[in-house]
Structure 1
Amino acid sequence: MKNIWLLAMLFLFLTACSNNSDEFENTKENEELQSLDVQFTIPESAEAGETVTLEATVTYGEEAVTDAEVMEFEYWNVKDEENTTTVDPINNNDGTYTAEVTFHHPGTYEIYAHTTAREIHNMPKKSITIDGEATAEHNHNHATHEETDDSHHEHAENFRMSFDQVENVQTSEKTKLTISPSLNDQPLENAEVRYEIIQEGKEKHEWIDATEEAGTYSATHIFPRTGLYKIVIHVTNDEGLHEHEEHIVEVTE
């Protein structure tokens, strides 16, 4: 009888050990499955001056990460590794984070997608080759609104700038910015129109080139955060015209 009890106890002990081992393996497998994954996609090449979209898809296991603590793109020319640029992307609230950048000089650029979420850091790196001739960097060629001496700018005689004021602007949605400038009561064609976008309390300025259609200049922008934004509209042409006008836009969720 004693031997039977000993055998029974040994069987129960081995079964418990086996169950604990299975639970450990399952826990370990689940931990491995619940890793932070960042799928970083960019084109292999582009032309100098062309807008390039950077996109990172962030998941934790099967869960889309919509609230990453840190998500930013950092890039540099491989021949000038000390000079890096960091860009904050737009959170599309579906696990994807996107940003648009323009490379003005040919060469090879390396880009990190710095991501921190669920107390894990992941930083995949990609490279892109930029072909063609160097293009002008408008951020350097155009003075920002703060750098101009005439903050209360008066337009040149007979120049008018009609801006379609935007309302109900929300984050992560495309907003169309449109102006119709005129000179001597005639639509101003073949001009260069750029929107300088400045969020209140931020030092970073974003520049957006508008496209023309019969004297009307439009561009779309996605505001990444709520708050007040100053939009400075710059209008220039080959005849030496350089006018600007500012507007305030409130962005809500």
Structure 2
Amino acid sequence: MKKNIWTIMIILALTLLAACGGNDNENTANEGSEEPAVLEVEFELPETANVGETIEPKATVTYGEEMVKDAEFVRFEYWEQGHEDDSTTVDATNNEDGTYTAEISIDQDGVYEMYAHTQAREMHTMPKKAVTVGEGSSDETAGENEEDGGHEHGHHADGFSMDFSQPKNVQTGQETDLTVQLQMDEEPLENANVQYEITSDDNSDFHEWVDADENEAGEYSAAYAFDEAGAYTMTIHVKNDDGLHEHEEHEVEVK
């Protein structure tokens, strides 16, 4: 009789241990399935302003649920539409509450586009908005913008060049090769940190980063599969240990 009792107790103990182990495994699996936090910037810019009026762009920076009060930098870069190679950059003031602001005055009529360059948590993001100053742009300027070809090539540092192989016939669910050639002073730029930032023009919540590998000297590639059809903006970010920080924006249509 005692032998049977001891046998039953041992079986119960083993059952409890197995149950605890299963819960631990389940918890570990759940922890492992948590998505990493993403750097987000809520960019506020008035839609219109008067010539000479002080414009106050504002960036509210978050990382997951955390307000980022110590961003490496926030910079507002702006230019008249169609003239991105003649841009002006202003460092934002850190208000130490997760918000970053600046004061900008524009003394000519026109439509001006602006990036909120934000670097924090080893990530970079650069939302863009536009403000119409005074009477806005002329019909001639608007025509130039329509002929721009659907993507923007920013003004780069002296000697730096970026040649992106624009993907064609991109299909959903199929891996697409993303390749860019980088040069500095007509020589391949090696050992750079290259990332593709992908956002959806149709879904403001979609925001992904893809790291590129240097397969050959100055050539950086990555493979990416788009899950849904639509228009996407792809921003190529380039950094290196010498302080280089460049970007270029392209449009990709997925069918």
Interval containing the TM-score (normalised by the shorter chain): 0.3 to 0.5
* TM value normalised by structure 1: 0.44
With the length of structure 2 as denominator, give the TM-score of the two structures.
Answer: 0.43
* Structure of larger gyration radius: 1
